[in-house]
């Protein structure tokens, strides 16, 4: 039943797009407005060799690369600001054979959301990410649609409080609440204590910000139908894998132009898990590993 619902969601999105394109006059104006404003990210992270273990079974000396591409158009409508885009993320691991863990985890999804406000002090974001969350190959069985709803309360120009909830039917805990705050402590110091990228920022100049921060990831993927059999454990065939990691390090944002920012970051990854939670197969990181990240991002 879940597969049918997912298929209907994707068909509905396609049908909506086709219907909009059929209306020539309105479509041209709408198309122009979509690409007049937006935001983008291109990011690459490399994590050095580390080990994970499960009881006496360990997977040793594998590295990781994480690539992200994202574009979101942000046209304004009467209700607020639409968020319409696409994103792709791919984890590649240097796993040895028969490790019970996949070499690749990747997702390709649409971004469909809305930013709106209630009064002068409350901002709300609703955003869904329907797409494919799998390994080397995408199939209809790997369709999922996690979504989030969050709000910001503007207490003052220097202090904002944030709260929200993320929903993912494939997760071990389908509903996860979160809260945080953004506080301009002083003229050049900002505490941005909001997941998934909490950090303490220092504005060294108009175009340069340095920071101490973290990055928290937790995404659910479905492995291939024969993955478990190839690993000698058929229980893992088509299983859901939750991949989680935390990175912490020092970084800098250099605003090259008003719409292009170059970021670089280096630090350690103290936490990582591969959790097939429905089959009680869970690997956790045995020690930390160094990482480096570089990205180009901006808004226009």
What pLDDT does 179 receive?
Answer: 96
Note down pLDDT in tens along the chain; length 300 residues: 444 344 443 334 333 444 444 445 555 665 666 678 999 999 999 999 999 999 888 999 999 999 999 999 999 999 999 999 999 999 999 998 889 999 999 999 999 999 999 999 999 999 999 999 999 888 899 999 999 999 999 999 999 999 999 999 999 999 999 999 999 999 999 999 999 999 999 999 999 999 999 999 999 999 999 999 998 899 999 999 999 999 999 999 999 999 999 999 999 999 999 999 999 999 999 889 999 999 999 999
Which CATH code of 3.40.50.300, 2.40.160.40, 3.90.600.10, 3.40.50.2300 fits the domain covering 35-299?
Answer: 2.40.160.40
DSSP per residue, the chain: -HHHHHHHHHHHHHHHHHHHHHSHHHHHHHHHHHTTSEEEEEEEEEEEEEEEEETTEEEEEEEEEEEEEEEEE--EETTEEEEEEEEEEEEEE-PPTTSSS-SEEEEEEEEEEEEEEETTTEEEEEEE--EEEESSS--GGGEE--EEEEEEEEEETTEEEEEEEEE-TTSSSSEEEEEEEEEE-SSSEEEEE-TTS-EEEEE-SSSEEEEEEEEEEEEEEE--TTHHHHHT-GGGTT-EEEEEEEEEEEEEEEEEETTEEEEEEEEEEEEEEEEETTTTEEEEESS-EEEEEEEEEEE-
Does the global pTM surpass 0.85?
Answer: yes
What pLDDT does 139 receive?
Answer: 86
What pLDDT does 3 receive?
Answer: 43
């Amino acid at each position: 039943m879940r597969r049918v619902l997912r298929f209907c969601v994707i068909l509905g999105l396609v049908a909506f797009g086709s219907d909009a394109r059929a209306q020539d006059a309105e479509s041209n104006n709408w198309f122009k407005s979509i690409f007049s404003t937006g935001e983008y990210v291109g990011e690459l992270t490399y994590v050095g060799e580390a080990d994970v273990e499960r009881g006496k079974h360990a997977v040793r000396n594998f590295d990781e690369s994480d690539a992200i591409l994202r574009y979101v158009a942000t046209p304004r409508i009467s209700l607020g600001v639409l968020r319409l885009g696409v994103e792709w993320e791919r984890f590649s691991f240097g796993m040895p054979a028969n490790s019970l863990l996949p070499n690749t985890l990747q997702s390709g999804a649409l971004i469909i959301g809305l930013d709106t406000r209630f009064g002068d002090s409350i901002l709300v974001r609703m955003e869904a990410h329907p797409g494919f969350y799998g390994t080397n190959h995408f199939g209809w069985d790997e369709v999922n649609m996690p979504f989030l709803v969050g709000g910001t309360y503007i207490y003052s120009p220097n202090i904002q409080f944030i709260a929200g909830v993320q929903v993912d039917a494939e997760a071990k805990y389908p509903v996860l609440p979160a809260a945080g705050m953004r506080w301009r402590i002083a003229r050049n110091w900002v505490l941005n204590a909001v997941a998934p990228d909490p950090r303490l920022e220092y504005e060294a100049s108009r175009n340069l910000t340095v920071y101490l921060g973290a990055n928290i990831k937790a995404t659910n993927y479905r492995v291939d139908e024969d993955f478990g059999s190839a690993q000698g454990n058929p229980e893992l065939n088509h299983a859901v894998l939750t991949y989680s990691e935390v990175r912490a390090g020092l970084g800098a944002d250099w605003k090259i132009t008003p719409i292009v920012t170059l970021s670089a970051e280096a630090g350690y990854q103290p936490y990582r898990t591969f959790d097939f939670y429905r089959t009680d197969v869970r690997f956790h990181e045995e020690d930390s590993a160094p990482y480096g990240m570089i990205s180009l991002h901006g808004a226009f």
